[in-house]
Amino acid sequence: MSRDKDDYVEDLLKGLSKAEPMSEFEIRKFKKLIDRQASEYKRTSQNKGFRFPTSIAAGIAIIFGAVFLLSGNSGVIRQATEINQSSPESTSDSSNDGTGGTDGVATPAAPSKPEVGEGSNGDTGVFGDSGSAADSKVGVNQTNLDYSSDLEKIRKLIKIGTSPISLTSLPNTFQQCAIQQGVSTSTLAFDRGLFQGQRIGAYFSGSDKSDYKIILVTSDCTLIAEL
Amino acid sequence: MAFTDLTDEELMVEFQSGNPDALSFLLKRLLPKLAAISRKLSPDKNLADDSLQEALATVWRKAEQFNGDSKVVTWLYVIIRNACIDIYRKEEVRTRRNISDETLLELGDESNFADASLTQMVIRKAVFELPEELRDPVCLVFLSEYSVEEASGLLGIPAGTIKSRCSRGKALLAEKLSDLRPKE
């Protein structure tokens, strides 16, 4: 290309700082990312295949709502009371339904509970209430347990959903991090806890409860461990 | 048929026929090239890697809509270029705030570093604001230092067109960056 009076522009552009080329190690890291993205794509494609079309689901909801209003609530309330007064078997059935209502997704921390720093909550409170369907934080937990010592207990506590949780339901600092770690569309549950005393976030990422891994990161998104 | 025997375009068709592994293979095969683009368009490796990561996510989201109007590699280049510009703009806002509020005040006239950073930002901004048809040839040839032939292959336009667009882009940049013209 010919040089002319505007050639200082070329020099300016060539003088800009540029990142060094990617090493083989870094290339391998990105290949793993592509593998993860491919798995996520396959899983979401499968989900799409089985998903109830929104319009049909909305139609069914409207019909049920209309039936509910036309028949009056008293019948429904009476029926609920009868279930509560019946045998212990039917009570346990009803509690199972409560979990099933959220597709097995772990329920959110109680709103009044502090986000961080309040010590372990054990088995109560955090997972106790099934919450409302409209709650946007389904699948987001705060066990405050230590993943280096209480892993089995945590695995029992965290309920792994059948579909990924919404990115926006995660705490702000962990939303961007989910993208960075390549788990933005495969996180089935999230938990705030500890690792060797350090505060961490834990993404439960995978396709279902029999196939997932736990990715532990610090609040600045440094990867600590994959379990 | 083995994926290795297929062209980029054929792999894309295979993906769109319902085989996600085809896209995975395609992206891995082109990864060194894609990584080079993001690294050459970005001022540092962290921004480059963030951009590439963002771009790969976009590819998975949009690959079903690829319609074959351009070469696959050109389509990928545009996605990476857009990701680099988006991420760079966000970083630029943050850096400008830091430099103007803190560094410049603290270092005053001794701040060659801050001056240099601001100058680099001004130049990149000018390039990224060029009309798209000029921006890509200028980015590839002058910023990323690809040869005219390589840029032609990547963008899918003749080498002669690349040359003329580079000249027009250079002239436009000379107007915008006249303050940076060396004193004679």
Tokens of A141: 């937990």
User: Is A27's CB within 8 Å of B39's CB?
Assistant: no
Distance CA A115, CA A225 (A): 22
User: Is B35's CB within 8 Å of A184's CB?
Assistant: no
3-state secondary structure of B50: helix
Distance CA B88, CA B49 (A): 12
Q: Does CATH number 3.40.50.20 belong to domain B3-129?
A: no
Contact A218/A224 with Cβ under 8 angstroms? yes
Indicate left, alpha or beta for A107 from its phi (over 0: left) and psi (-120 to 50: alpha): beta
Instruction: Give the CA angle between residues B64, B69, B70 to the nearest 5°.
Output: 100
Task: List chain A residues with CB under 8 Å of B29.
Answer: none
Domain ranges of chain A: 104-227
Report CA B19 to chain centroid distance, whole Å.
29
3-state secondary structure of B91: helix
User: Is B36's CB within 8 Å of A34's CB?
Assistant: no
Instruction: Find, among A215, A216, A210, A183, the residue nearest to A104 by Cα.
Output: A210
Distance CA B124, CA A105 (A): 46
Its ipTM equals 0.80
Quickly state the pLDDT bin for B60 (edges 50, 70, 90).
very high
Domain ranges of chain B: 3-129
Question: How, if at all, do strands A140-141 and A223-226 pair?
Answer: unpaired
Amino acid code (one letter) for A164: P
Shortest CA gap A193–chain B (Å): 27
Q: List C-alpha distances in Å: A93 to A89, A100, A105, B54, B154.
A: 6, 10, 18, 45, 62
| Predicted confidence (pLDDT) per residue in A108-167, tens digit | 333 333 333 333 333 333 333 333 333 346 688 888 888 888 888 888 888 887 788 887
Instruction: Find, among A5, A66, A187, the residue nearest to B170 by Cα.
Output: A5
User: Is B39's CB within 8 Å of A18's CB?
Assistant: yes
Task: For CA atoms B7, B8, B11, B12, give the dihedral sign.
Answer: negative
pLDDT in tens, chain A (227 residues): 445 677 888 888 888 877 778 888 999 999 999 999 999 998 887 766 544 444 445 555 566 555 555 554 444 434 433 333 333 333 333 333 333 333 333 333 333 333 333 333 333 333 333 333 333 466 888 888 888 888 888 888 888 877 888 877 787 778 878 887 888 888 889 998 888 888 899 998 888 777 888 999 988 888 888 88
Q: Give the closest of B24, B45, B170 to A20, CB-based.
A: B45
Indicate left, alpha or beta for A125 from its phi (over 0: left) and psi (-120 to 50: alpha): left
Question: How, if at all, do strands A140-141 and A198-208 pair?
Answer: unpaired
Rg (CA), chain B: 19
Task: List chain A residues with CB under 8 Å of B173.
Answer: 6, 9, 13
| Predicted confidence (pLDDT) per residue in B74-119, tens digit | 999 999 999 998 888 887 777 666 655 555 555 444 445 555 667 8
